[in-house]
């Protein structure tokens, strides 16, 4: 997965944990060799987790793990037949992602601007990170992986390496450009060390910022709003996509910006927009 499919370290860890769970369940059922693994065991493994209340999205991933693992075992001639060929996964819930209103984004930015006015390097960094997350809709891991050379300030574009090592170019607006420039001029030089390398965003000790640090910053800002259930940097990604579509952006353009391999993934944001439209209709139309 890591070498051939270029999956992230987080995804590899999740799949390894799934395989350990599967094999542990099989051993408990009396399976002693990989060749003894059968479709029934795989189905009972998923069924037991479903009964324990596991989310459908996680069950779907675990079914995919089982298929990938047994497919690999077959290619390596560790088993004679693939028991997961007919293993079906539950469909993922089509829940609408948490989205911030534009007024909430504005309040968040106001708080960031107030903090950055004091000139502290971390305040300047936080403003630049949040502005860039919302302006581009990039993932938190993509943000943490940015280097200074990935920025093209003249064209206001960003080179992003996404899932599967796929590269894309994403535009961003003037507020994000100003915030990032402020961080590079006044914030980054105050914390940079010999170990910083080309990393765009740094932690207090000068190392490349960790995605967990970014999540902590965004969660604190969202909690301070007090009127949203949205959590984490992905809420900014969801919000950017929805606001682009609400503003009339083409669906395929949004797909390219977000780095989705399938248009179907991007279409969930049209459901968000339609849901908002329906609520507005019900509130305003006299015969709704």
For 13-30, the pLDDT digits (tens) are 889 999 999 999 999 999
User: How high is the pLDDT of residue 69?
Assistant: 93
User: How high is the pLDDT of residue 126?
Assistant: 96
Q: How far apart are CA 48 and CA 42, in angstroms?
A: 10
pLDDT digits (tens, 9 = 90+) for 195-213: 999 999 999 999 999 999 9
The pLDDT confidence band at residue 262, using thresholds 50, 70 and 90, is confident
Could you give the angle at which helices 121-136 and 174-182 cross, rounded to 10 degrees?
150
Q: How far apart are CA 115 and CA 117, in angstroms?
A: 5
Do 117 and 201 lie in one domain? The reply is yes
Do 226 and 270 lie in one domain? The reply is yes
The pLDDT confidence band at residue 92, using thresholds 50, 70 and 90, is low
For residue 143, give the nearest of 176, 190, 186, 178 by alpha carbon. 176
Which residues, including other chains, have CB under 8 Å from residue 30's CB and lie 6 or more apart? none
81 within some domain = no
Average pLDDT over the chain reads 88
94 within some domain = no
Q: How far apart are CA 34 and CA 52, in angstroms?
A: 26
Do 244 and 156 lie in one domain? The reply is yes
Residue-range definition of the domain harbouring residue 175: 102-282
Do 168 and 249 lie in one domain? The reply is yes
122 within some domain = yes
Tokens describing residue 118: 């004091």
Number of domains present in the structure of the chain: 2
Q: Which of 43, 61, 107, 163 is catalytic?
A: 163
25 within some domain = yes
Q: Which of 127, 139, 238, 243 is catalytic?
A: 139
Do 120 and 176 lie in one domain? The reply is yes
Do 136 and 243 lie in one domain? The reply is yes
**Would you call 7 a catalytic residue per the annotation?**
no
84 within some domain = no
User: How high is the pLDDT of residue 276?
Assistant: 67
pLDDT digits (tens, 9 = 90+) for 223-241: 999 888 888 898 999 999 9
83 within some domain = no
Give the residue, 251 or 98, on which the prediction is more confident. 251
Give the residue, 59 or 264, on which the prediction is more confident. 59
Give the residue, 272 or 286, on which the prediction is more confident. 286
pLDDT digits (tens, 9 = 90+) for 40-79: 999 999 999 888 888 888 888 899 999 999 999 999 999 9
CATH of the domain at 111: 1.10.443.10
User: How high is the pLDDT of residue 88?
Assistant: 83
Give the residue, 89 or 29, on which the prediction is more confident. 29
Do 50 and 126 lie in one domain? The reply is no
Do 158 and 211 lie in one domain? The reply is yes
User: How high is the pLDDT of residue 9?
Assistant: 77
95 within some domain = no
pLDDT digits (tens, 9 = 90+) for 127-167: 999 999 999 999 999 999 999 999 999 999 999 988 777 88
Do 62 and 125 lie in one domain? The reply is no
pTM: 0.70
Do 128 and 52 lie in one domain? The reply is no
Do 131 and 28 lie in one domain? The reply is no
Percent of the chain with pLDDT over 90: 58
Give the residue, 125 or 229, on which the prediction is more confident. 125
| pLDDT of 93 above 60 | no
The pLDDT confidence band at residue 245, using thresholds 50, 70 and 90, is confident
Do 154 and 22 lie in one domain? The reply is no
**Would you call 94 a catalytic residue per the annotation?**
no
85 within some domain = no
Q: How far apart are CA 261 and CA 244, in angstroms?
A: 18
**Would you call 234 a catalytic residue per the annotation?**
yes
Q: How far apart are CA 60 and CA 57, in angstroms?
A: 5
User: How high is the pLDDT of residue 94?
Assistant: 56
């Amino acid at each position: 997965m890591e070498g051939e499919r270029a999956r992230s370290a987080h995804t590899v860890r999740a799949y390894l944990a799934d395989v350990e769970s599967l094999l542990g369940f099989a051993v408990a059922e009396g399976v002693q060799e990989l060749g003894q693994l059968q479709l029934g065991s795989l189905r009972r493994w998923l069924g037991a987790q479903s009964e324990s209340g596991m989310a459908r999205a996680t069950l779907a991933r675990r079914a995919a793990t089982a298929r990938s693992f047994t497919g690999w075992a077959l290619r390596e001639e560790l088993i004679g037949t693939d028991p997961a060929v007919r293993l079906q996964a539950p469909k993922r819930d089509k829940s609408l992602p948490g989205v911030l209103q534009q007024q909430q984004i504005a309040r968040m930015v106001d708080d960031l601007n107030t903090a950055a006015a004091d000139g502290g390097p971390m305040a300047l960094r936080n403003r630049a990170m949040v502005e860039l997350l919302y302006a581009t809709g990039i993932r938190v891991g993509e943000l943490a992986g940015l280097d200074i050379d990935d920025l093209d300030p003249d064209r206001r574009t960003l080179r992003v390496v996404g899932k599967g090592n796929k590269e894309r170019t994403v535009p961003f607006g003037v507020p994000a450009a100003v915030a990032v420039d402020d961080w590079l001029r006044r914030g980054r030089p105050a914390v940079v060390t010999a170990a910083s390398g080309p990393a765009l965003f740094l932690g207090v000790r000068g190392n490349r910022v960790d995605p967990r640090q970014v999540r902590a910053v965004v969660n604190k800002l969202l909690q301070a709003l007090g009127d949203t259930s949205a959590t984490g940097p992905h809420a900014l990604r969801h919000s950017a996509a929805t606001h682009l579509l609400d503003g009339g952006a083409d669906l395929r353009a949004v797909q390219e910006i977000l780095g989705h391999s399938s248009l179907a993934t991007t279409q969930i944001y049209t459901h968000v927009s339609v849901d908002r439209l329906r609520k507005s209709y019900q509130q305003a139309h006299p015969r709704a």
